[in-house]
Amino acid sequence: MPTRQLGNSGLEVSTVGLGCMGISFSYATQLPKDEGVALIRAAFERGVTFFDTAEVYGPFENEEVVGEALRPVRDQVVIATKFGFDIDPATRENRGVSSRPERIRQAVEGSLRRLGVETIDLLYQHRVDPEVPIEDVAGTVRDLIAEGKARHFGMSEPGVNTLRRAHAVQPVAAVQNEYSLWWRAPETNGILAACDELGIGFVPYSPLGKGFLTGAMAKGSLPANDFRAGIPRFQPEAMEKNQAFVDLLARVAAEKGATPAQIALAWLLAQRPYIAPIPGTTKLHRLEENIAAASVELNADDLRTIEEGASHIQPEGDRYSPAQMAMVGREAPPARADA
C-alpha cells in the first residue's frame, strides 16, 4: 500500500485507512469483538496503517476493539481517536457535546487506557463545542502533546474560522469531514482551501456515502436499527434519485475494470495529494476491494467524465438529521478576554 503525508504535519499514513466505527456502532450489523479484532488485523496485513476510532463509538467498545487488534503492531500503525462529547462513564449515556478542558483530559485518559497506548497519534475534536472557545480546546491539546499523551491535533467538521483560530494555537495536522462524490461541500465551504493554504491533511469519512456509492444497497433495504434509516438521504425516494451517482460510477468502473466503490475512492484520492480516506466495513471482501482502490489510476479523461456526469446530478436529501446537521460546520465562541 502506498502512503501519504497529512499536510505539513509529517504524519505518514496508508493511502487508504480503515474507519472502525461500524464494527461496533451505528449500523444494524455489528461484529462480535473477536471478529472485529480479526478484521482490523486483516487490514494491517494487507497494508493499512491508518485506523480511526472515537470514544463515542459504542460508547467505548470500539476503542477497546481497536486497541486489542493493534497492540501487537503498535509501533507500525497510526491510531486516531476523538474527544468532544460528555459521556457518563457509568451509564455510557451521551449527554451532548463537551470540549471543556477538564472533559478533554478525562476523555484522553480513558482513550489511552482502552487503546492500551501511551500516546494517541492523532487526537481529533469530534465536534465543535459552541460553549468553549477553540483557543481553550487547542491549548489543552497543545499541553497534552507536550506531556506526551498525543502527537498530533485534528478537527472534525469545524467551521473555517474556527479551524484557522485553532491552527494558530496548535497546528492542526488533519481535518476529518464527510467528503465524497455525492457530498462535495468541502470544495465550496472553504475547508479544502484552508487546508491547501495552511498545510493541513484531509481525511474524508463516509467516502462511499455510508455504503450507498458501492451500489450494493437496495431502495428501502435498511432495518430500523440502522442509523441510516433515519437520514433523509436514505429514504426510498431519495435513494431512487441518488442512484444516478452509482450509475455514473458504474459506467467508469466498467471501462477501468474496477468497481463503483473503487472509482469513488480513486476519485477522492485524485482531488488532493494529502487526502487519505477512511472507508469502513465489516466484511473482508469489501475491505480488500477498498484497499485495491489505491491502485486504481484515473486519467484526465476519466476525471472529466466523472466531473461532467456529476455536474448534472443534484444530491437528494440531507446527509444527517436536522439535529446532527446543526453540529457540523459550527464556529466556536470568541476567545475569553483573559485567555
Angle between helical axes of 260-269 and 236-256 (0-180°, round to 10): 80
Closest to 272 (Cα-Cα) out of 48, 2, 5, 1: 5
Angle between helical axes of 33-45 and 61-70 (0-180°, round to 10): 50
Instruction: Give the span between the Cα atoms of 282 and 268, in whole angstroms.
Output: 22
CB 48 within 8 A of CB 16: yes
Coil vs helix vs strand at 216: coil
- Residue 203 DSSP label: E
Instruction: Give the span between the Cα atoms of 257 and 215, in whole angstroms.
Output: 16
Between CA 90 and CA 92, with CA 91 as vertex, the angle to 5 degrees is: 100
CB atoms within 10 A of CB 334: 11
CB 53 within 8 A of CB 60: no
Closest to 268 (Cα-Cα) out of 240, 237, 294: 294
Catalytic site residues? 57
Amino acid at 88: D
CB 223 within 8 A of CB 195: no
* Helix, strand and coil in the chain, % to nearest 5: 45, 15, 40
Coil vs helix vs strand at 152: strand
Closest to 104 (Cα-Cα) out of 74, 124, 118, 90: 124
